[in-house]
Each structure stands twice: as structure tokens, then as C-alpha cells.
Structure 1
Amino acid sequence: MSRRPAVAALGGGHGLFASLQALQYVTDQITAIVTVADDGGSSGRLREEFDILPPGDLRMALAALCDPSEWGLQWRDALQHRFAGDGPLGGHPLGNLMIASLWDLLGDPVAGLDLVGRLVEARGRVLPMAIEPVRIEAQVRGADPDQPEQISTVTGQVKVATTTGDVLSVGLHPDPPRPCTEALDAVGDADWIVLGPGSWFTSVIPHLLVPDLRDALVHTKARRLLTLNVTMHTGETAGYTAADHLEVLAAHAPELHLDVVLADPSVVTDSGDQLRDAAQSLGATVVFTQVADSDAPGTHDPLRLAAAYRDIFEL
């Protein structure tokens, strides 16, 4: 490529962490756009006590982008350090408290994240998908095992992620949430959009439920890459095939066009024709390549994922 591409990477949690690690081998122009629906653990406690964005997924994205120098790696470890014990600090990572403190001082979530990024010499920028915390509300069939056909509303990221029922659709409250203007600009200025990997209903789909962000994704000049998980049958997507994941995406954003779907061959349970057909309905081709970590089942290998991103960006 004549220059390194500008990439906007959307997701949350461990999936986005892996994607950001891989992207650093490919480009120095990265913007992470992170879901803000977490309501569990330290993030849940902080958002309830201070009415702030849940900082955990934002912290993880900053940790993923820390400069690989001694300074950057020490700050990565500091951000991720979690206090032990049952006291008030127990379970809180230092990075969550640092981010919450800067938001309190500056009164601006983007300015606070940018300041942490400068401190850790982040190789990219981290932005929230919305500037207010959101809650996920899912329509679930069989959430009550005694009533397997009943459809009920399950509220909260943790409950949706761990439901034993079948998630049919998800929405956000408030609806619509206020978007992050800088995230919209990043999508508009990107050469490539990378959506996923991550928990489908709680890390990937929520970005499509912020109307202004969805419109930006639909109308951007950037090419769009969807990275599938290397494990299909998580709690919230139990029984889903790779093609089912694409159909869910299309149901929540029918106007969204994709260019490429990246899939590890291990996630395809048939000849691949169903996945190809589902991708084609979204305007995309499927690239099959091994990106899973052989030594850590269910996770992406950063170097393999980086090689896949490099090859796709050069198409």
C-alpha cells in the first residue's frame, strides 16, 4: 500500500482487544470505538455510583494500544492491575479508577480518554460509541426454562450475555443514545471499518443501535470488514452458525453494506456455502484463513489476525 490505512475498529471487551493488538502491526492510524453498555463488575459499580460511562472496555482498548516500549508496557500493566480483597477498592482495576477520576476533573469523557492515551503513549485513539451509558434490552425466548416458548425482556449486558434463552433481538435504552461526535468523524474519515470480533449481541450489534453511528457506517466511503469470532456457540449465541451471525447483523441494520467477512475455517460447520450466501446478501465476499490461536482455544492469534488484516487491506 502507498500509505497505511486509517482504520476505525468497533467492538468491546476481549474481542476488540485482540483486534487492536493485531491492527498495530498493520497501521499507525487506529481509532477504537467502544461499546458503553457494560453493567457488571467494576464498570457496573462505577457507573451506578457516579452515573458515568462504564470504563472497563475503554480501559482495555487503551491497554491494547499502549506503546510496546518499557514505559508503555509498564503502564499497560498498571491500567490492568486489579485491586484484591473485599474492601471498597476490591475488584477495581487501576485504569477504571484513573479514567473515572479524569472524567470527574475534566467533565469530558473524550478529553479524559485522550489524556490517558497520552500518558500511556497509545498507538491510536479510544472513543466511546455514545457519550452516555446505555443499557441493553433483549427480547429472549425461553429465558424462563419452565416456559420455553415465552418471549420476555431481559435487561442489562451481563444478563443478556449469560441468558439460557434464545436472544431474538436487542435494543438500547435510552433510545436513541447521544452519539460521540468524534467517533462519527472517525468513521467518516476511515479507509477501513473493522467490526468485531466480540460477543455478538453485547459488543458488536450495539454499535448499530446508535442511529447516528449506524448512518455513519452506512454512508462512509470506507470499506467494511466484519471479523467473525473463533467460537460460535457462546452463551448469548448458543446454537448459532456463522451464517446466523450475519443474518442477525442484517436484521438489526438491513441497510448496512459489507465488503469482506473474515472467518477462521474452524467456525464453518458445513461446506461454507451458507456463510458465503449470507455474506453475499450483504455485498461481501468471505475470506477464510486461520486466525485462531492454537495454544489458546477460542481466542485470536494477534500475528495471524494481523496478517489477515494486512492481506485484506491490500485487496
Structure 2
Amino acid sequence: MRAVALGGGQGLHATLSALRRITDDVTAVVTVADDGGSSGRLRRELGLLPPGDLRKALAALAGEDEASSLWREVFQHRFGGTGALAGHAVGNLVLAGLLEVLPDPVTALDEAARLLGVRGRVLPMCTEPLDIEADVVGLDEDTTAVRRIRGQVAVATTPGQVRRIRLYTAGMPDSVPTACPAAVRAVLDADVVLLGPGSWFTSVLPHLLVPELHEALIDTTAARIVVLNLVPQPGETAGFSPEQHLDVLCEHAPRLRVDAVIADADSVATPDRLRRAAESLGASMRLDGVASAKARERHDPLALAESLRDALAAVNAG
């Protein structure tokens, strides 16, 4: 089974950790708009794709043999101290070097994947870094006034309410981002495509704003499954109900149809509302216990894998 997961950060890591328990043919398609932390520093200093989310995806799919496990640990190791390297993850620096030495980002990521014994493939959503811009309300005395803010960190941490986002090639506000061709092909060739969980406006929805990727998600014959977050994210989705996540997805991609929506049973206060929101996208709703017992804000990979198996079986049977 060919599986493709779209997202970024910890949410994508959870999806990949679940998918690798179902199939060895997993492709991660990763957002490239991060402008904070180590990734933001490397992006600003070197003009490269922000490597952090790409590194996390590689680590999630790394092999389980001794050498691969060591490299996964090294890639995830973050330097301490107060010097120039403080805060940088080793994997971010390795990826930065590969991105500078090798001819294109896909080749660089394939080489990093070989180093980590990755089961599957990690691809960037676009081969150029992107900027996110959002329309936000609630930042002024007039709570209906719309203010435009720019940058992934600014959008993710805004105390206002995000209404809509736009995406463009970094430094080119009037541009239309171009999808990585290999990512488009992966979506079109997939048997199942997953959206979410993750930062909804800054890791999940951006995939729908790249025209070629958007069309591929509409045209693919794959089963399309949305995995909802367990809790609202402080900042960009504070106060959001599960069904509101689907509402904004529909607003950004009104032609997209979905086969199944997976949510944690304990995270849904009004199942009927979520069911109606899922049905508006053409999807069935699954309420399963997919949260980690140790950290309710994170998905349990084993439980999520089981839920995905059941969702796929239901889609294929239907």
C-alpha cells in the first residue's frame, strides 16, 4: 500500500509513526514555511529550505537497525550552551550541508534518508522556502477589524482569530508557489493520503494552497483521510471545536472531497456536529481512542495505526 502523509512538525511525526506500522511504502510531504528557531536561523542565513520539519519526518521514518537508530538520535540531538550552535539540531545542520552541496532538495533528502535507513521517502511540499500570510481578527479594539500578519511563527502564536491564510514564495508576495513535482506524483500514485493532525493553519492547510498539490489531492484516486487534532492549539486554533477545523478546511479547498475523518472520542463534545461537518466533505466519521495515555495532546501511534486500518477497510468496503 502506497501511503502519503501531508503536514509538518509533531503532527506529521505522529502520522508517520502510525503509518509505518501499516506499510513500508510511506511518503511524507512536508511544509516549508517555518521561520522560527533553528530552522528560521538557517533559512535566513543561508536562504535554504527550513530543515526542521523535514528532519522530524526523516527521524519518524528512520530504520530500526543499530546504525539507523544511532543516526536518528544524532539527527534529533540539539546543541546546548550559548554559542553560535546553541539551539541547532544536528540534523538541521546536516540537511543544510546536503542542501548546499547537492543539486536539488529532493536529492539532498534522498541522501539523508539513505543515511538514516528511512523506510519510505521524505519530500518538500515546494522546493523553495515559503511565507505564510494570514487575515486575523480580534487584535484591535474593534474586534471585527482584519489585520494582516506574516510569518509562520507570527500566525501560529497570534492571540487573535485566524480567518484565512495565503501562501507565496519567500520574499515574493505576489507569487504563486510551485509544488515539488515528486510530491505531486506521490499524491496521484497513492492508495491513501492523510491530512493532519498538526498546526491547522501553518502545517496542514498550506498543502491546499499550492495549486498543483491542491489539484492532485482532488484528482487522486487514493482514499483521503483527515486526522483531527486532539486539542485546540494555543494561538492559531484556540477555542476551535473539531468541526471548526473541518469548516476552515472546506473554506480553503471547497472542491476537496474526503473519505473519512478520524477524531479522538474523548476530544469531541458534540459528535453530531462533527458528523455533519464530515458529511459536508463527503466523509464518514470515526471516533476512536487515539490519544496517548501519557500526554493527551499527542496521538498514540499504535492506536492511530489501528484506527487508520479500520478507516481504510471501511472506505475500501464501501
How many residues are treated as equivalent by the alignment? 309
CA distance in 2, matches of 1:203, 1:190: 20
CA distance in 1, matches of 2:142, 2:107: 48
Q: Is the 8 A contact 1:232 1:267 kept in 2?
A: no
Matched, 1:163 2:158: yes
* Alignment counterpart, residue 58 of structure 1, candidates 45, 54, 58: 54
Deviation at residue 143 of structure 1 after TM alignment: 2.6
Give matches, 1:1-315, under 5 Å.
5-144=1-140, 146-174=141-169, 175-270=175-270, 272-315=271-314
CA distance in 2, matches of 1:164, 1:232: 13
CA distance in 2, matches of 1:100, 1:196: 26
Structure 1 portions without partners, runs of 5+ = none
TM-score (structure 2 length as normaliser): 0.95
Of all paired residues, the percent bearing the same amino acid is 52
Q: Is the 8 A contact 2:223 2:312 kept in 1?
A: no
Q: Is the 8 A contact 2:156 2:236 kept in 1?
A: yes
Amino acid at match of 2:153: V
Deviation at residue 71 of structure 1 after TM alignment: 1.5
Deviation at residue 28 of structure 1 after TM alignment: 0.7
Give SS of 1:237's match: coil
Deviation string, structure 1 residues 67-110 (Cα, Å, up to 9, x no partner): 12221211111000111122111111010110110111113100
Amino acid at match of 1:30: V
TM-score (structure 1 length as normaliser): 0.96
Q: Is the 8 A contact 1:7 1:192 kept in 2?
A: yes
CA distance in 1, matches of 2:266, 2:310: 20
Deviation at residue 286 of structure 1 after TM alignment: 0.2
Structure 2 portions without partners, runs of 5+ = 170-174
Deviation at residue 297 of structure 1 after TM alignment: 1.8
Give SS of 2:159's match: coil
CA distance in 2, matches of 1:250, 1:65: 30
